[in-house]
Structure 1
Amino acid sequence: MRRWRFPGNPRTLPGKLFRWALMGATAFVGISVAQVVIYKVVPVPVTLTMLFDDNGITKDWVSLSDIDPNMPRAAIAGEDAKFCLHHGFDTEAIQQAMERNMRGGRIRGGSTISQQTAKNVFLWQGGGYFRKGLEAWYTVLIEAIWGKRRIMEVYLNVAETGIGTYGVQAGAIRYFGHGADRLSRTEAARIAAILPLPKKREAKSPGGFTLRHGNRIARYSGSVRTQGLESCLK
């Protein structure tokens, strides 16, 4: 049996570079898979976004079963209506976002809840093709290893819900004085409405766009339930 060898001469610079690149890629794959496997059962203790937040960290991990169903419904209604239908990427939403951005104005993304979770847990904020590539890789991993219910649970626990506030439990206490286990449809919708810009929007006594967007999410939340768009969480 012939032994497999690295292409080229491993003693030359190109050969060494290829060997190092292959070793680095193999190590990254192993580490990233291990991370995802661990966080399938272990609560995410901290993220890079939290560590670099000058406002401190207020958070309290709760299981999805201890979060009122109104909250994941609002997240689906406001962030990712096809959450239970896609495998991590909503190609139609991405295409629409690209077309809107090409026309100018405020840049908008087409990220799914799965992509946002992958970014929030394993990566850093900001754009760039390199980070987007890593985000895509981690999205594939969490879809394959975690499943939808765990993705939603992690998302609702690490998403920034206010200045120095992370997760819907801390957000519910901050804005409404009670836990996420008894969020009304309106309260859940208002938290969902601030998720894109949590440092600039307030869920309590909102006005303008946040109020209108929250009301719209509250209406769509009913459709999420009646149309079975939350079926993957059961």
Structure 2
Amino acid sequence: MRGERRPSFRSLIRRFVLIAVALVLLPYLLILVYALPFTRPVSTMMLSELALFRGYDRRWVSLDDISPHLVRSVMMSEDGQFCSHGGVDWTQMRGVVEDALDGEATRGASTIPMQTAKNLFLWNGRSFIRKGLELPLAIGADFVWSKRRMMEVYLNIAEWGPGIYGAEAAAQHHFKVPASKLSARQAALLAVSLPNPITRVASKPGRGLQRLAGVIERRARNSGDYIKCIYG
């Protein structure tokens, strides 16, 4: 039609910037929403399963309905300083940066809040962009949520196999028991499979995975003050 004006290039850029800003700010709004105890967050991986028409198994349970064996094992395996840091373990992070600057192989320094932020709002894979987005989200979530809420969310969105998310679905899938009834060894096996649950199958552990589980089981048994923010 005559007189109809097409959006100018500047207008398109402005819209793009506004959308980008909204996408960056949305996770911080969701952090506030997810602080409410009745909310049941879903991860970007779960959303991708739905987008690909694959579906997934996730059965939300409260932290009180998850075996303390699993809570202790996951903490001692994934983030031993969970109760004492503010979302990021800066001592570990500094070591990773120094190793990278020296050209050495870097070790993992992701805390449970960082993994939770990544799972909820970001994507898998290593990149400085993702890590740059992940750090403030982890700090923000750790500031807003209690440690118990953080652990509850993490254990309900963690991946434990193809299409298997959360402690309840994992316990039922791998060991045919509810999450509340996991034994110390079962919990340790689930914990050590977290870094790569596709190749590390908790219900079919090889000798190496059994050995790792034994180490984590002993650490969990002696966790003491390390878990005071959950069971203090």
Tell me if both proteins adopt one fold, taking TM over 0.5 as the criterion: yes
1:115 aligns with: 114
Structure 1 residues 113 and 100: alpha-carbon distance in aligned structure 2, compared to 1, 3 A threshold: same
- Give the Cα separation in 1 of the matches to 2:99 and 2:201: 26
State whether structure 2 residue 207 is matched by structure 1 residue 231. no
Of 33, 39, 48, which residue of structure 2 is paired with 1:38?
A: 33
Aligned 1:69-88 pairs, distance under 5 A:
69-88=68-87
Per-residue CA deviation, residues 66-123 of structure 1 (Å, 9 max, x unaligned), is 1111111001110000000100111222234455665656x53210011000100111
Taking only aligned residues, the RMSD between alpha carbons, in angstroms, comes to: 2.5
Give the CA deviation at 1:59. 1.1
Aligned 1:142-221 pairs, distance under 5 A:
142-221=141-220
2:56 aligns with: 57
- In the alignment, structure 1 segments of 5+ residues that lack a partner are 1-12
Give the CA deviation at 1:19. 11
- Give the Cα separation in 1 of the matches to 2:148 and 2:204: 31
- Give the Cα separation in 1 of the matches to 2:22 and 2:97: 33
- In the alignment, structure 2 segments of 5+ residues that lack a partner are 1-9
How many pairs were matched up? 215
- Give the Cα separation in 2 of the matches to 1:188 and 1:97: 28
Per the normalisation by structure 2, the TM-score is 0.83
Of 16, 26, 43, which residue of structure 2 is paired with 1:47?
A: 43
- Give the Cα separation in 1 of the matches to 2:209 and 2:98: 24
- Give the Cα separation in 2 of the matches to 1:112 and 1:122: 15
Report % sequence identity.
37
1:67 aligns with: 66
